[in-house]
Every structure is written in C-alpha cells, then in structure tokens.
Amino acid sequence: MKYRFSTLQNSLFFGFAGVIGLILAVCFSFFYAFFSLYLSESVSSSHKNLCSSISGAVDAEILKMNTVSMNVVYSNLISENFRDYLGLGRSKPGPVGKWKSAGAIFDMIWAIIGPFQTVSQVNVYSTGGSVIGAGLYNMEETARLEDKLWYARTAALGGSRDIGLPERIPALELRNVALKSHLFVPLRRLFSSERFVGEGIVEVLQDAEVVFAPAERVKRLNKDVEVFVLDAEGRQAYPFGGGPSGGDARADGAYYAGLIARGELAPMRMKDLPGTKVATYLRSEYSLWDVVVVEPKSTAYLPLRRFTAVLALSSIAMLALGWFAAYVAARRLAVPLKELQAALGGMDAPGLVDPELGPPSIGRASIREIDGLRLAFEGMYEKLRGSTKELVATRSEETKAKMLALQSLMNPHFIYNNLAAIGAMAEEGRVADIKTMCDDVSHILRYVSSGAEAGVELREEISHTEKYLKCMKVRYGDSLDYEIDVPSGMLGIVVPKLVVQPLVENSIKHGFNVSPPWRLSVRGSAGDGIWRIEVSDDGLGFEPGARQRLEAQVASWAGSGKLPPLGIEGMGLLNIVLRLRMLYGAGFVFEVSEADGRGARVTVGGRIDGS
C-alpha cells in the first residue's frame, strides 16, 4: 500500500531528505570502503616495514659476524701463528715463541675486528682443546670441544656457518663481572688445513643487544607491539629466554613458529589471529631467520577506528545539514502555497465586502512560478471582491425592495380593516366615536406611510400599536380589555416596522369570535441577545392545520427566493414571518401556541444586534 503524506511540505521534505540520504549513503559507503582498504594496507605496510627493518638489521649483524669469521678462516697469518702456537708448525717453539705466536694472533684478530669493534669477541678453538681469543678480553685457555653442545653440529656443517641462539659465555663472565648474565649471539664455522683436514673452529660472538637493537627500539617506542625473531629451525632467538608467556601461548615464539610451519601465516601478509591480535612475518633470504611483528587489533586498527568515527560524525553532520537544507527548501516551497490555501479557505463575505479589509497576506517566495501564482491570486481576489460588492449591493437592493413590497402590503390591509370598522360604526350612528377614530387612524396612517425604513425603535412600534388599540376600544367599548407590558429597557431596540400591530389586529379579527368580554395582552422580554414580543388573546385559538400551512408557505418562499402571491386578505402573519426571516435569517423567532385556558398566543422576535 502506497503511503501518502498529509502535507506538501512533508512530501517535499521526506522526498528531498530521502534523495540526500541516499546520495550521502552511496558517497560515504564508497569513501569508507576506499579509505578503510587504504588504511588497512597502511597498517599492513607498517608491519611489513617493521619486519624488513628488523630483519635487515639482524642480517647486517650476522653478515658482519660471518665476514669476520671468513676473514679469520682465510687468514694465512692467523693459521700459521695458530699452528705455531699449538706446536704443529715446522719448528717447535718454546714458551717465548708460543707467547709471540699468541701475541701475533691477538693483533691480527684485533685488526680484523677493527677500531670500532665490529664484533664483541673472536675465539679460535683447536681440535686439541686449546682456545685463544681477543675482543672484549684476550684469553688463552683449554676446553673439551666434545663437551660443547654446538661442536657436533658445527663440525657436521663442514665449514658452513652455524648461527646459535643468544647464550651466556662463562669464560667471559669469569674475566669481566660486568658481563655476568650477558647474552651473545655466536657464529661458528670449521676451518681446515691446506689439505682440508679439520684443525679447529672459529667462534665469533656479538652482543645480543646489538644484534636485536632494532627490535628493542620498536618495543621501547610502542609497548603494544611484540617482536619475535626465530632462527632457521623455528627456535626463538628474541625475546631472550623464550619470553614470559603469562599463560598465553601467543606470547611465545613457538606459537608463531607453528603457524609458519603449518602455512597459516604467509610471508609479508598481515594475518588476523584468533582473539585480539594481528601478526606479520618476514623470512630473511640471508640468514633464513624469521621476524614476526605482533600487535593488538585495537592498536593496529586504531587509525581505521578513528577514521570510522570521524567519518560517522561527518556523515551525521552532513546528513543533518542536508536534511536542514531539505527542510528549508520544502518550507520555502510549501509555506507560500499553504498561505495561498489558507487565503482561499479564509475568503468569506465580510472580507470581500469590507473596504477596510485588504486581500489575505501571502509572503514572497522568491520563486518565479509561486510569486506569479501569488500575483494572479491577488488579482483574482480584487476582481472577485469587486464582483462580490456588486452582487451584495444588488442583493441588498433586492432585499430592500422585497421588504418595502411586503411592508407596503400592510398599508392597504390596515386601511381596509379600519374603513370596515368605521363603516360599522356609521351604521350604528356613533358620530363622535367615528370622529375620534378618524383622528387616531390619521395618526396611524402617518406612521404607516412615513419614509421607507425597514426598521424602527420598539417604542414607536408599541406607540403605534397602542393607538390602534385605542381605536378598537372606541369601536368595541367595554367589550375589549387590553394590556401592554414592555420593559422600558427594550424600547430602544430596533425592530421591523409594523410587526406588532398586525398581530394585535389579527387577534381582534380572528380571535374574538366568542361572546365578550375580550381580553388581549402585549408583553415584551429580552434575554440571550434575543428580543421577544408576545401577543395573546382569549378567543377560540388557531384552526387545525393553520400553523402547518403557514410554515409550508414560508419554506416555499425561502426555497425559491421569490415573494409569494399575496392578497390583502389572509396575509398578516405570513407577511410578518417573511420580513422577520429576510431580516434575521435563521435567527428569527416565530412561535404560535395555545394560550393558557383558551385563545391563541403568537410570539415574534429576533437578535437584538439585528444581524
């Protein structure tokens, strides 16, 4: 089911907001995907650079150690002096000759190590167990090669280098207390005589802290990064002593050696490990040692997380800005249209005819089409206003003409009734009464025929009614008794002309068909903004169906808007009802009922303000 928005502004806003949100979502998704890949590559590249840097530094130290060992092995002077030192030369030197040979070896080893001490110590072992060395300490001693754990391995390599794990050198510790518990990385190789007979082993020692200084620097600068260096057999060379595992296998180089052996850690590719870490490793082409860099994911991907947070906040801010722009645009389009709609809905008769009221205000939208619509509406409003004024004036004149027509019908009606009364009095020879009545009738005729006003103050209408009742009193004498009770506060109310006297006249004509005396009363009341005049008599009352016929005649006239064909006879009540309805609309009062005891009661009225 298709959803429909209740207002144009909502429709425009949600339409614009949806388009803006979709565009931003596509743009930011692409942007995030691109930069997350870029940042992931940056993290991986950083790991690769660390591995390359550490591996290169370790290889450089091993290369120096290997170069020193090769220089010793291929030094004929060292070989000859060492043979003389061991008594294997052509001559058999005495203690002095042996001492000179040892001194020459010391000097040549120092020359190979160089002034900057390329390596820490160089020792030369004979197969007979003699040892002579120089570097950190010049020493001469004996040792059983068969007791050395590395001897068999080194001898089996037949002259190739054998790089050992960092280890303590007891001979150096005995001679220098500062070297106690100090670790050295050894490189050993077998050297042979000219006839390729093994004569001994060259041992080159380098301070482990020098070899692994880059790894120590990385850990010092970033405590969250772990560095493992594994030899060609997967044994942990760094951190020294296997490292504190703390119950976590991933804090031990053996764990990463196992991953490498199983192919779960590819060279130079960052790998997400189970848990919260990532790792990258590089295998050196020279030493075949592996360097593994391990870092928590929270640290490694911190730039990505920060970028994600910044991008999310930027997205929210831009989305909010876009939605605000959509709201402003929708409002800019919708508000003038809403004002135009309100102006059209607020067009009423008072606004169209009141000269002090201008056209409804509609703000400028600064949009050509809407401003053109506003100008067209204002022009249409002015034309409609002029047409309405003309129509109202025409209707007013028409209503006034109808009122005057109805009112004019009362004049001959009144004259007819009173001439009939004077004729009856003439037959009875009541000359004096005829003169009195003629005087009153002349006053009444002046009131009836004076001007063309549709309304008079109630005091004038009551005065006119009272004169008429005096005329009737002259005619009927003691047979007629009347009472007028209208509060003085009502006398200033403007009422239709000839609205009370015809009711009195109608009561006398139709209500007094019983034996006298006759009683008639006129009472006034006001309340809730309505004035009421009640005329009651003690006659026979209304004929059956008379009220219904009167209401049907009024409804017929109201539907057609035309005056009904009225004659002089039988038009008093209908005339009054028509004029009340024309003047007060649905707010007029016309009630007929039976009076208390007997007789009829007719009540007429309308709004005091006349509207």
**Tens digits of residue pLDDT in 127-166:** 888 899 999 888 888 888 888 889 989 988 888 999 999 9
Task: State the chain's mean pLDDT as an integer.
Answer: 80
pLDDT at 247 over 60: no
Confidence band, pLDDT 50/70/90 cuts, at residue 188: very high
Question: Mean of the pLDDT values across residues 489-500?
Answer: 88
pLDDT at 400 over 60: no
CA 446-451-455 angle, 5° bins: 100
pLDDT at 204 over 90: yes
Question: Mean of the pLDDT values across residues 48-56?
Answer: 92
Q: Identify the residue with better confidence: 63 or 349.
A: 63
pLDDT at 129: 85
pLDDT at 63 over 90: yes
Confidence band, pLDDT 50/70/90 cuts, at residue 366: low
pLDDT at 158: 84
Domains of the chain, first to last: 45-299 (3.30.450.20), 391-607 (3.30.565.10)
Structure tokens, 312: 């999310």
Question: Mean of the pLDDT values across residues 292-306?
Answer: 85
pLDDT at 178: 82
Q: Do the beta carbons of residue 304 and residue 33 sit within 8 Å?
A: no
Burial class (CB within 10 angstroms; exposed 0-12, middle 13-18, buried 19+) of 429:
exposed
Confidence band, pLDDT 50/70/90 cuts, at residue 72: very high
Judging by DSSP bridges, how do beta strands 518-527 and 480-485 pair with one another? parallel
Confidence band, pLDDT 50/70/90 cuts, at residue 347: low
Confidence band, pLDDT 50/70/90 cuts, at residue 51: very high
Question: Mean of the pLDDT values across residues 93-119?
Answer: 86
pLDDT at 246: 46
pLDDT at 552 over 90: no
pLDDT at 228: 94
pLDDT at 419 over 90: no
pLDDT at 563: 58
Of 121-135, 357-371, 469-483, 505-519, where does mean pLDDT reach its minimum?
Answer: 357-371
Q: Do the beta carbons of residue 580 and residue 496 sit within 8 Å?
A: yes
pLDDT at 342 over 60: yes
How large a percentage of the chain has pLDDT more than 90? 22
Confidence band, pLDDT 50/70/90 cuts, at residue 359: low
Confidence band, pLDDT 50/70/90 cuts, at residue 567: very low
pLDDT at 570: 45
pLDDT at 60 over 90: yes
pLDDT at 487: 93
Q: How many helices (H) and strands (E) does the chain have?
A: 17, 19
Distance CA 228, CA 291 (A): 6
**Tens digits of residue pLDDT in 76-103:** 888 888 888 887 766 666 777 788 888 9
Q: Using the 8-state DSSP alphabet, how is residue 88 labeled?
A: -
Q: Using the 8-state DSSP alphabet, how is residue 601 labeled?
A: E
pLDDT at 6: 63
Kindly report the three-state secondary structure assignment for every residue of 576-599: HHHHHHHHHHHHCEEEEEECCCCC
Return the bridge partners of 494, or none: 457
Confidence band, pLDDT 50/70/90 cuts, at residue 451: low
Percentage helix, strand, coil for the chain under 3-state DSSP, each rounded to 5:
55, 20, 25
Q: Identify the residue with better confidence: 339 or 453.
A: 339
Burial class (CB within 10 angstroms; exposed 0-12, middle 13-18, buried 19+) of 217:
middle
Question: Mean of the pLDDT values across residues 335-356?
Answer: 63
Peptide bond between residue 267 and the one before it cis (omega within 30 degrees of 0): no
pLDDT at 579: 79
Q: Identify the residue with better confidence: 606 or 366.
A: 606
pLDDT at 15: 80
Question: Mean of the pLDDT values across residues 560-568?
Answer: 53
pLDDT at 530 over 80: yes
Most confident range (mean pLDDT) of 26-30, 240-244, 289-293, 335-339 is: 289-293
Question: Mean of the pLDDT values across residues 495-518?
Answer: 83
pLDDT at 406: 46
Please report where in the chains the tokens 């500062």 appear, as a residue.
178
pLDDT at 430: 74
Confidence band, pLDDT 50/70/90 cuts, at residue 181: confident
pLDDT at 398 over 60: no
Angstrom CA distances, 361 to 96, 121, 328, 367, 375, stand at 125, 101, 21, 17, 11
| CB atoms near residue 337 (< 10 Å) | 18
Where does 416-465 show beta strands of DSSP type E?
455-457
Q: Identify the residue with better confidence: 445 or 73.
A: 73
Q: Identify the residue with better confidence: 180 or 10.
A: 180
